[in-house]
Structure 1
Amino acid sequence: MKRVLAIGDIHGGLKALQQVMKRAEVTPEDKLIFLGDYVDGWSDSAKVVSYLINLAKQNSCVFIRGNHDDLVHNWLKTEETNETWLAHGGQVTLDAYRKLTDEETKKHNTFYSQMVDYVVDNDNRLFLHAGFTNPNGPQHEYFKPMCYWDRTLWEMVSAMANKPKDAFKHYPKRLDLYNEIFIGHTPTQRVGSDVPVNYQNVWNVDTGAAFKGAVSIIDVNTKDVWQSDPVMSLYPDEPGRN
């Protein structure tokens, strides 16, 4: 059976991505769903995007838009920066892009433009970077960037932990829309875990690659997990993000 693999936040850690792809023994037969935030954090941000562009030539890939991807794309289009972005990994990405040729940058711009905010598969599983607030689903969000900025979905299910559905008088309607929801965006270390975490029907696959954690891959059918070494250990001469 063809595997469907969801890949969590990468944040410029190309060495970690390549390592975990090898550990998961990824082949061209596997469908790969990347949950966003390919850039900002470690020095290989631009190289990660180049790697993904080439990977899509041999694998069936879905590239979800993350908030950091949107920030970088906006900079590529407008050259506008802001101090918050630069302080949260943007400066490293900006420096990396200054080494690219105009032709390479053009290809990257196309890559960012073609990302999707979310995808729902044939098994009614939703994949998106962050979350959504509309009780009828992300397609009804008035403010579309919620798909890659929202944290309320994860905060909600974290507070609910894994109590049975009938323990809640008013079970959140948005959780009933999908069989499972796969997200990134909020490091699992915030709930005390270094591996992907499942609360209710939501799986969080962001295992802190931007900080002191790893890049993770999860088989969405079997729930097998593969991880890289902590990304910071693969970039020992870089300060990373505190």
Structure 2
Amino acid sequence: MTKTKTFVIGDIHGGLRALQQILTKAQVQIGDQLIFLGDYVDGWSESAAVIDFLMDLQTKQNCVFIRGNHDELLSKYLKTNSYHEEWYKHGGESTIKAYANVDKVTKKRHINFLDNELQNYYIDSQNRLFIHAGFTNVKGVEFEYFEAMYYWDRTLWETALSLNPNLKITDDFYPNRFKLYDEIYIGHTPVTRIGEKVPIQKACIWNVDTGAAFHGKLTLMNVDTKEYFQSDALPDLYPDENGRN
């Protein structure tokens, strides 16, 4: 009997071709679990198509969908038809264009998916936390005061980057947030910002956002073996587009 696998997928940002590519490369099977870290939209031209694809995938596969900040912004736009200028400049423009010819019934289905099928975080049976951005409460995600931190926080990753590698978990100054979970998987802040192109581990944190919104690749990683699969660079898959700048 083939053992099922658990895969975590980084920020997609409207790059459906990249998502389809990595699912094929990894030879994902029906029984495998797919944990998506959020930011399904805003960047490349297929944001609406990505949501359709994920909704269909959910009917066939064991999926966990984490909420990203861009997903929350899309939900607000679809419900109000209004948006903040900063969202428009940081990927929202491509998403607005993608939804221009989407009918009202489909938009309602997408709103339902974004509001009801996405979750702020997921903790598995092995005490591994999956979250889009981070959290600030030293007692853990369950005690976070501000929901937006789950999909906006950058301090968790920044703390991991600045941590003295010689510091031990038993030391007094070791960050409490790093003691709570065996592993933490995040997206939100591309590793390309520190000159990397593959998933990076700092302390107990794995950052799986490899810059698909910009000029990087989309990554899928086996959380047990740490084997990962990457798409082509997104500009190569969408040669007539710019993605997010």
Q: Name the TM-score, length of structure 2 as normaliser.
A: 0.96
Aligned mates of 1:161, 1:5 — CA distance in 2: 29
Deviation at 1:130, TM superposition (A): 0.2
1:211 counterpart residue number: 214
- After TM superposition, list the pairs within 5 Å mapping 1:34-45 onto structure 2: 34-45=36-47
- After TM superposition, list the pairs within 5 Å mapping 1:109-124 onto structure 2: 109-114=111-116, 115-124=118-127
Are the counterparts in 1 of residues 169 and 179 from structure 2 also a CA contact under 8 Å? no
2:84 counterpart residue number: 82
Are the counterparts in 2 of residues 161 and 200 from structure 1 also a CA contact under 8 Å? no
Task: State the identity %.
Answer: 50
Are the counterparts in 2 of residues 161 and 199 from structure 1 also a CA contact under 8 Å? no
**AA paired with 2:174?**
Y
- After TM superposition, list the pairs within 5 Å mapping 1:146-165 onto structure 2: 146-160=149-163, 162-165=165-168
SS at structure 2 position matched to 1:210:
coil
- After TM superposition, list the pairs within 5 Å mapping 1:46-61 onto structure 2: 46-61=48-63
**AA paired with 2:108?**
K
Task: Please list the CA deviations of residues 27-49 of structure 1 after superposition, one character each: whole Å capped at 9, or x if unmatched.
Answer: 11110000000000000000000
Deviation at 1:167, TM superposition (A): 8.7
1:72 to 2:74 alignment: yes
1:125 counterpart residue number: 128
Aligned mates of 1:225, 1:240 — CA distance in 2: 23
Aligned mates of 1:166, 1:178 — CA distance in 2: 12
- After TM superposition, list the pairs within 5 Å mapping 1:1-242 onto structure 2: 1-114=3-116, 115-160=118-163, 162-165=165-168, 168-242=171-245
Are the counterparts in 1 of residues 167 and 174 from structure 2 also a CA contact under 8 Å? no
Of 165-174 and 55-64, deviating more is 165-174
Q: What is the Cα-based RMSD across aligned positions, in Å?
A: 1.2
Q: Could you list the runs of 5+ residues in structure 2 that have no partner in the other structure?
A: none
Cα 1:161/1:110, change in 2 over 3 Å: farther
Task: Please list the CA deviations of residues 133-181 of structure 1 after superposition, one character each: whole Å capped at 9, or x if unmatched.
Answer: 1001122111111000000000000111643525954111111100000
Aligned mates of 1:167, 1:179 — CA distance in 2: 15
**AA paired with 1:110?**
N
Cα 1:120/1:206, change in 2 over 3 Å: same
Are the counterparts in 2 of residues 89 and 241 from structure 1 also a CA contact under 8 Å? yes
Task: Please list the CA deviations of residues 166-207 of structure 1 after superposition, one character each: whole Å capped at 9, or x if unmatched.
Answer: 595411111110000000000001122100000000000000
Q: Name the TM-score, length of structure 1 as normaliser.
A: 0.97
Are the counterparts in 2 of residues 4 and 221 from structure 1 also a CA contact under 8 Å? yes
